[in-house]
């Protein structure tokens, strides 16, 4: 046995160390491949949910029992705006690259109150100038919009609200109110369709599956290279 090891060592110095390093690299490649694969599966599932729910018929907000399964669905609701509670989210840019804000107003519907994203508004001429916001009726009105949860989906849309953090909690903290754990992207109703509404995220599965195959290729390449070196 000692002679066999000596013969192997003389034929390929540090063979065991090289094999160990190759094995570690192969494992890391397989882990990276699985990570990218899972990201691709998750993103596809989210995109499928958006496509499915946005194609469903409009439903009354009060008829929704499970918020999570109905996110992105178009809902109909009646109530009144509370103009005393508004939020302007900074650092929002439109498709032309203009700086502005996301404009949200509190809405009361029966025993519920929640935020409505009324779209993007352009910033004033200076930082101290309040941007021009849409008029807010005080009478009872019927509106339609997309149901959104606190944990929004993909970043990348110019008007999508960020995916990280507890947005609704932060809005409530600013305005000192308690609301439902969802908000509404306003679509229209009562002549209030936003000039620049909140857009749907880009429904692309991305390059995750291609990256997963790439990492598998690297793993195979390392294994093949190690075998070739041993045979030399």
* E strand spans, the chain: 59-60, 74-93, 99-109, 112-122, 141-149, 182-188
The total number of structural domains in the chain stands at 2
Residues 214 and 150 in one domain: no
Residues 28 and 82 in one domain: no
**Span 123-134, mean pLDDT?**
79
Residues 150 and 94 in one domain: yes
pLDDT tens figures, 18-30 = 889 999 999 999 9
Q: What is the pLDDT of residue 12?
A: 62
Residues 84 and 111 in one domain: yes
In a domain, 194, yes or no: no
The boundaries of the domain holding residue 128 are 73-188
pLDDT tens figures, 35-58 = 999 999 998 988 898 999 999 999
In a domain, 133, yes or no: yes
Residues 14 and 104 in one domain: no
Residues 99 and 183 in one domain: yes
CA distance 61 to 145: 10
154, 201 Cβ separation under 8 angstroms: yes
CA distance 74 to 225: 55
In a domain, 201, yes or no: no
Residues 182 and 81 in one domain: yes
Q: Decide: pTM greater than 0.75.
A: no
CA distance 136 to 192: 9
Q: What is the pLDDT of residue 232?
A: 64
In a domain, 67, yes or no: no
């Amino acid at each position: 046995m000692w002679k066999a090891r000596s013969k192997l060592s003389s034929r390929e110095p540090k063979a065991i160390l090289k094999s160990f390093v190759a094995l570690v690299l192969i494992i890391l490649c397989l882990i990276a491949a699985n990570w990218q694969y899972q990201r691709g599966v998750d993103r596809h599932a989210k995109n499928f949910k958006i496509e499915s729910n946005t194609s469903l018929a409009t439903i009354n907000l009060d008829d929704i029992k499970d918020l999570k399964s109905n996110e992105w669905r178009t809902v109909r609701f009646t109530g009144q705006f509370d103009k005393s509670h508004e939020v302007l989210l900074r650092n929002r840019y439109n498709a032309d690259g203009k700086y502005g804000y996301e404009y949200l107003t509190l809405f009361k519907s029966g025993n519920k109150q929640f935020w409505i994203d009324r779209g993007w508004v352009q910033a004033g001429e200076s930082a101290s100038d309040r941007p021009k916001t849409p008029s807010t009726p005080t009478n009872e009105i019927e509106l339609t919009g997309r149901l959104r949860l606190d944990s929004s989906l993909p970043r990348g849309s110019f008007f999508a609200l960020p995916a990280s953090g507890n947005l609704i909690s932060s809005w409530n903290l600013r305005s000192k109110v308690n609301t439902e754990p969802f908000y509404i992207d306003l679509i229209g109703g009562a002549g209030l369709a936003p000039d620049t509404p909140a857009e749907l995220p880009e429904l692309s599965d991305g390059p995750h599956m291609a990256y997963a195959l790439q990492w598998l290729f690297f793993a195979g390449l390392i294994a093949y290279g190690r075998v070739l070196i041993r045979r030399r």
